[in-house]
């Protein structure tokens, strides 16, 4: 062993609170990211996108062929078979679970349902109908490329939802344009630094007031 490097990217202090406030307003929040599934699922759990105490399940290819929902935590529960022709049956067997979907799985499902040689399987009507029945039940979309992010937003809209997409990179442009409301987040390090300093000062004053 030559060495071990640990990296940490802590959440902003107000992230979980913001998600909770949005939920209190009757609005559901999901995560669509290019990050790895396990990373995305854990961050989603910390901010409350994956319900507290809920098991997270990933849609993946089954060993014997076909598809199944598999628990991310080893031994957390048995795999649940998934049939693209009747997606609701398996989803009803996982009430309250945090369902996760990788971009590669999304693309392979689309290729399986779309006509052979289709230019854009994700745009095929049969695929869009299937996604409209599955996507609204998923809370974490990981390893998603720009076209896959756009397909997820389209699926929510096909299912009758009004969408607002927040994005901070060029890989989010398609999804931002597709959503009913697109919010592009611009990073401002200096403003964020001042905000953190102000929050730290406020917390310090609160502690001093309690001590008195």
Q: What is the pLDDT along the chain (212 residues), one digit of tens a residue?
A: 999 998 888 888 889 999 999 999 999 999 999 999 999 999 999 999 998 899 999 999 999 889 999 999 998 989 999 999 898 999 999 999 999 999 999 999 999 999 988 889 999 999 999 999 999 999 999 999 999 999 999 999 999 999 999 998 889 999 999 999 999 987 777 777 787 788 888 888 888 777 76
- CA distances to 60, 61, 67, 78, 101 from 64, rounded to whole Å, are 12, 8, 9, 15, 20
The separation between CA 143 and the C-alpha centre of its own chain, rounded to angstroms, equals 10
Residues 6+ apart with CB under 8 A from 22: 29
**Which contiguous run of DSSP H or E holds residue 167?**
strand 164-167
pLDDT at 8: 82
Handedness of CA 39, 168, 202, 26 (dihedral sign): negative
8 A C-beta contact, residue 44 and residue 98: yes
pLDDT at 78: 92
Length of the chain in terms of residues written: 212
User: Nearest 5°: CA angle at 110, between 147 and 48?
Assistant: 65
């Amino acid at each position: 062993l030559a060495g071990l490097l640990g990296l940490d990217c802590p959440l902003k202090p107000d992230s979980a609170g913001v998600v909770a406030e949005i939920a209190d307003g009757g609005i559901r929040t999901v995560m669509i990211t290019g990050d790895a599934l396990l990373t995305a699922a854990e961050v989603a759990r910390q901010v409350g996108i994956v319900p507290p105490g809920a098991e997270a399940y990933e849609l993946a290819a089954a060993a014997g062929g076909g598809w199944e929902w598999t628990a991310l935590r080893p031994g957390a529960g048995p795999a649940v078979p998934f049939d693209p022709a009747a997606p609701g049956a398996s989803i009803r067997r996982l009430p309250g679970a945090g369902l996760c979907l990788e971009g590669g799985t999304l693309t392979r499902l689309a290729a399986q349902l779309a006509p052979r040689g289709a230019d854009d399987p994700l745009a095929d009507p049969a695929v869009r109908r299937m996604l409209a029945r599955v996507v609204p039940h998923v809370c974490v979309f990981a390893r998603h490329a720009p076209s896959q992010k756009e397909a997820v937003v389209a699926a929510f809209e096909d299912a009758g939802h009004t969408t607002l997409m927040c994005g901070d990179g060029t890989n989010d442009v398609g999804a931002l344009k597709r959503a009913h409301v697109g919010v592009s987040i611009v990073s401002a390090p200096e403003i964020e630094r001042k905000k953190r300093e102000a929050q730290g000062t406020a917390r310090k004053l609160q502690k001093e007031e309690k001590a008195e």
